[in-house]
Structure 1
Amino acid sequence: MKKLLAGVLIALAYISCNNLAKNGAGKEESLVFHTDSLVKHIKILSSDAFQGRKPFTDGEAKTIAYLQEQFRSLGAEPGNGSSYLQEVPMIDILSQPDTIMQVRTPNGALQLKGFDEYVLSTPKTEATVNLENVPVVFAGYGVVAPEYNWNDYEGLDVKGKIVMVLVNDPGFNNGDTTLFKGKTMTYYGRWTYKFEEAARQGARGCLVIHSTAAASYPFSVVQNSWNESELRLDNKDEKLLEAQGWIAMEAAKKLIVAGGQDTSIIAKADIPGFKAVPLNETVSTHIKTKVTRSKSHNVIAKVTGSKYPDEYVLYTAHWDHLGIGKPDAKGDSIYNGALDNASGTAALLEFARVWKSRQTPPERTVVFLAVTAEEQGLLGSAYYAQHPVYPLAKTVGVLNVDEVNNYGRTKDIMVVGQGQSEMEDLLKEEAGKLGRYISYDATPEAGHYFRSDHFSFAKAGVPALAQGFGIDVVGKGTAYGKKMQEEFNAQHYHGPSDEYQASWDLSGAVDDLQLLFRVGKRLAYGHAWPGWKAGSEFKAEREKTAAERTK
């Protein structure tokens, strides 16, 4: 009887496993992500032969060739018609600003010192940008946010002027947790938004007032860009400032006082109803430029959906890093970017392999998008969002991988951008099924949600999940996880020492990829459309496209 019972149980187990393997969306199947596959791709992509994968270099040519070869060998279809590539036209601008800024007031003149007190560049392609006696306006936070009933530009004409605005948003310093999102930075607090809004308002220039607490990094970080070239997209119709940069807090106070105002207006900018203050002064400076035009490439592959091929689930990662630069103490000048982001690119190839190997294809089309120039300002993903291969209105959601966990399995997986979209809820549900939980970014005031490629899609209204790896390491606890993250950020992040190490433990990466696969599976075999949550600054943009999805 025992032998008979054992035989029946074995048979039932076999039938059950076989059914699970054949099943599509309704039941669970065995998912196989391989650490050896991840390691293979990471080691190749971050090898010295790839020269740090900087756009416009031989490193780019090798990287996009490798990605095309891998997608092709996996059986993933070309994602841009008959091609795996999407050209991304960009401009490289080397700004060479004057070393001083002349300030004129009714009571006399003064000078600000470049680098020490401000940094300045131009996105324009003219040989020289001349700012002569341009009026200055203190415009608070430089925010126009209808959903928060806030408009720092209301009744203000800044055409032909320079606006000086605070970094972050009014909720950061005010102490009122109901103002914007309290300490959590919204996109209105991001310096890129400040430049965009100032350009929309017709200003000639914008200076963001730096504060270490509000920016989440010291002034030295922005000083590092002084006289360094910058990439931007070659968008001919884009509204651009003539000059944009940062000004140290003490230098900003110097301008405010010289312009006949009291520095108390800085604190007043936190209060609802604040009115912008024109300063009784003008500034003069000049910027020379050297401009180079070229093209980089996004790499796109797909697995076509069986029922809803014109609805899309996107997995994204950036393939680029910093190339060859200043040598470190050991003389190493190749910024290999193994964790950032050869690891995420390797994960993208793993997603393609697992999706393509399924016996039951996805009902919606699953797209694998490896983007360029993340390190230069999310440019590859921004270009795709502005020139989508697949309509954004028909794009269900985005799952982005920017670095993987290299220090072991964790009980948690981190969500960046708490309360933004319903993609967070899907991740929480799937994590719970695996006995895991989601944790949240410990420093939401730093605006990490706006610093990786998912944000380009969020800005365009597509729900995008930003996940980071957890810190509650199995058997070692949160202190160990924090220590490992802090060590990487302090010793290896954006340095030549970000190289693959045999000591890496990628078991946690495999767990995270399996979890993201399950979220994508929910989307690819369902017909739901995740939305933005109430209070999200991206909700209105998505709602504009709702009608297109029903056509």
Structure 2
Amino acid sequence: MGRLPLAIPPLLFLAAIPLQPLGARPAAEADVEARLRGHIETLAADAMEGRKPGTPGGDLAAGYIASQFAGLGLVPGGGDGGFYQPVKLVERRSGTIAADWRIAGTVVSIAPTEMALRGGDGAVRTAALPIVFGGYGVEDARAGLHPFEGVDVKGAAVLILSGQPEGVVHAPGYAARREALLKAGAAAVLRIETDEQGWPQLRDTLNEPRNELADDAPAPITGALSPAAWQRIAEAAGLSALTPADMVKRDFRARRIDGTATFSIDNVSRPYTSWNIVGRFPGSDPAAGALLYLAHWDHLGLCRPEGVPDRICNGAVDNASGVAMMLEVARGLIQSGKRPVRDIWFVATTAEEMGLLGAHALAKAPPVDAAKIAAVLNFDTVAIAPRGAPVAMLGRGQPALDAAVDAVSRRMGRRINPSDAANALAQRQDGWAFAQQGIPAAMVGGSLNMDLLQAYLGQEYHKPGDDLSQPLPLDGVAQDVELHVALGLMLADPKRYRPPPR
């Protein structure tokens, strides 16, 4: 294990949500709000430099959370008697890339600036791969689209168009299409960019370093082609006459191009260690199972080039506010005077912004037997809802969990938004790592109303403006802290909440 970090003691547009009638705010709620602000001011301070894992700012953030866990009296759960669970990561970036395209007996020259390639580890040299063009690559039974029906993509380099096909309502996004092809055995999947002006930004994005769990197999080869590069390939392959409209016809099928592609990538790797911060509030009967609370502590770090006025993506809402909420829920549970039956675990995860990596590492090696985890509740991007916002869920559709959330909400006088619209974001948050194992997982609170989320995602999300200069509606977070203290006590009681068998 590497050296542990030292512990250190907008006006957002809010959609018009009718607020419930509220009386005077309790003094205790104002105290919670003040502590929430203190946590956020610390975690989103410029000194943290955006809390990127593997940086001094990230280490400071982890140290702050560990010190707060200790101050709350949580039992260390990270191993070796401390709060730190090591998460071994590797940063890989593509160095020199090259490709040899041979189409219909002709060498098609594609410059390195006209493509992006990534994947593998070290020096990657593929064999001459057969090439398949899949149009948009959209498999949609409702629209009658089956472009790969009868087409074997195993071992092939598959090329598909970026963007969404016009008129196809339920088309999966590009990432889902790519993953389906890789799962089917494609050796490489490259997207064809159709916007010449957007190409430089896409290329630069794909050439940025990527981070992966060190014990995972290196990612397969993916990448992109510029519009000009695809035009030359299409001309050589006799596909120039195909139109976007042709590719969404029911009888369109992927075509095997007469030719091969050979790829070369020289990866540069940097291994490093980050940490999940893990603490436990012991229950009276640990054999009864466990409840997990999650909030990711990381953000994007220095996200703008040198010389610009503001380089730091501070991540005040995403997700200093979620960590602050988790700390105050822990405080509320401990100070409630009601000991839970099940153990309650609190985990501040790392590397969420890199692909839920800390959560996946936690799900692989949980602090308690995964079969005993009754539920997982995640806090992410919470400081966007005012006091009185209806209680909404990401993860609605799980009867036992839905019933618990609704019962607690009603008891506390909170209105309920029964929509499951937020489920569309399920794979973009840490609870997904556990939901994939069949463990009940959800996000609950006022911030899960989709109009509020969409307003934030369309403004300061992943930008330097997500900092302390924006007004933060912490009265809503304080109210949700109270909700989660009551919900946590219910979910930690096997007589009041029984997870479904799995």
TM > 0.5: yes
Partner of 2:481: 513
Deviations 1:374-402 (A, max 9, x none): 11111111111122222222211211111
Partner of 2:101: 103
Taking a change above 3 Å as real, the CA distance of residues 211 and 388 of structure 1, as seen in their structure-2 partners, is farther
**Aligned counterpart in structure 1 of residue 269 of structure 2, from 266, 278, 291:** 291
Task: Please state if 1:504 is matched with 2:501.
Answer: no
2:140 and 2:289 mapped to 1: Cα distance? 31
Deviations 1:167-192 (A, max 9, x none): 7999x9645xxxxxx47x6xxx572x
1:289 and 1:351 mapped to 2: Cα distance? 43
Normalised by the size of structure 1, how large is the TM-score?
0.72
Kindly indicate whether the alpha-carbon contact (under 8 Å) linking 2:408 and 2:486 is maintained by their aligned counterparts in 1. Answer: yes
Task: For 2:56, give the aligned amino acid.
Answer: D
Secondary structure, aligned partner of 1:43: helix
Partner of 2:414: 435
2:380 and 2:256 mapped to 1: Cα distance? 42
1:424 and 1:252 mapped to 2: Cα distance? 49
How many matched pairs?
468
Task: Please state if 1:64 is matched with 2:62.
Answer: yes
Structure 1 stretch displaced more, 497-506 or 260-269:
260-269
Partner of 2:364: 386
Secondary structure, aligned partner of 2:128: strand
Secondary structure, aligned partner of 1:83: coil
Kindly indicate whether the alpha-carbon contact (under 8 Å) linking 1:138 and 1:276 is maintained by their aligned counterparts in 2. Answer: yes
Task: Please state if 1:206 is matched with 2:189.
Answer: yes
Secondary structure, aligned partner of 1:411: coil
Kindly indicate whether the alpha-carbon contact (under 8 Å) linking 2:293 and 2:378 is maintained by their aligned counterparts in 1. Answer: yes
Kindly indicate whether the alpha-carbon contact (under 8 Å) linking 1:97 and 1:120 is maintained by their aligned counterparts in 2. Answer: no
**Aligned counterpart in structure 1 of residue 436 of structure 2, from 456, 459, 468:** 459
Paired-residue identity, %: 30
1:461 and 1:296 mapped to 2: Cα distance? 27
Taking a change above 3 Å as real, the CA distance of residues 77 and 54 of structure 1, as seen in their structure-2 partners, is same
Structure 1 segment 174-213 matched on structure 2, within 5 A: 174-175=168-169, 182=170, 191=175, 197-208=180-191
User: Offset at 1:55?
Assistant: 0.8
Deviations 1:70-112 (A, max 9, x none): 11110111123422111111111111353x7553221644455
Taking a change above 3 Å as real, the CA distance of residues 330 and 80 of structure 1, as seen in their structure-2 partners, is closer
1:58 and 1:31 mapped to 2: Cα distance? 35
Taking a change above 3 Å as real, the CA distance of residues 300 and 163 of structure 1, as seen in their structure-2 partners, is same
User: Offset at 1:51?
Assistant: 2.0
2:360 and 2:163 mapped to 1: Cα distance? 22
Partner of 2:85: 86
Task: For 2:121, give the aligned amino acid.
Answer: T
Deviations 1:347-376 (A, max 9, x none): 111121112223221111111111101111
Partner of 2:40: 42
Partner of 1:20: none
1:359 and 1:294 mapped to 2: Cα distance? 41
Task: Please state if 1:134 is matched with 2:133.
Answer: no
Partner of 2:118: 121
1:270 and 1:437 mapped to 2: Cα distance? 43
User: Offset at 1:200?
Assistant: 4.5
2:301 and 2:467 mapped to 1: Cα distance? 13
Unpaired stretches in structure 1, ≥5 consecutive residues: 1-29, 176-181, 213-217, 473-477, 532-542, 547-551
Structure 1 stretch displaced more, 492-501 or 224-233:
492-501
Secondary structure, aligned partner of 1:437: coil
Secondary structure, aligned partner of 2:205: coil
1:468 and 1:119 mapped to 2: Cα distance? 40
Deviations 1:242-268 (A, max 9, x none): x11345789768756754567479876
Secondary structure, aligned partner of 1:55: coil
1:141 and 1:463 mapped to 2: Cα distance? 34
2:301 and 2:425 mapped to 1: Cα distance? 23
Partner of 1:164: 159
Kindly indicate whether the alpha-carbon contact (under 8 Å) linking 1:381 and 1:453 is maintained by their aligned counterparts in 2. Answer: yes
1:326 and 1:93 mapped to 2: Cα distance? 20
Partner of 1:26: none
Kindly indicate whether the alpha-carbon contact (under 8 Å) linking 2:133 and 2:254 is maintained by their aligned counterparts in 1. Answer: yes
2:227 and 2:418 mapped to 1: Cα distance? 34
Secondary structure, aligned partner of 1:225: helix
Task: For 2:275, give the aligned amino acid.
Answer: H
Task: Please state if 1:233 is matched with 2:233.
Answer: no
Taking a change above 3 Å as real, the CA distance of residues 279 and 426 of structure 1, as seen in their structure-2 partners, is farther
1:360 and 1:451 mapped to 2: Cα distance? 34
Task: For 2:348, give the aligned amino acid.
Answer: A
1:409 and 1:260 mapped to 2: Cα distance? 61
1:496 and 1:120 mapped to 2: Cα distance? 29
Deviations 1:269-301 (A, max 9, x none): 786x98654333322342222111111111111
Kindly indicate whether the alpha-carbon contact (under 8 Å) linking 1:55 and 1:373 is maintained by their aligned counterparts in 2. Answer: yes
Partner of 2:50: 52
Q: CA RMSD in A?
A: 4.0
Kindly indicate whether the alpha-carbon contact (under 8 Å) linking 2:246 and 2:252 is maintained by their aligned counterparts in 1. Answer: no
**Aligned counterpart in structure 1 of residue 401 of structure 2, from 398, 409, 423:** 423
1:65 and 1:208 mapped to 2: Cα distance? 41
2:420 and 2:278 mapped to 1: Cα distance? 30
1:357 and 1:121 mapped to 2: Cα distance? 50
Secondary structure, aligned partner of 1:316: strand
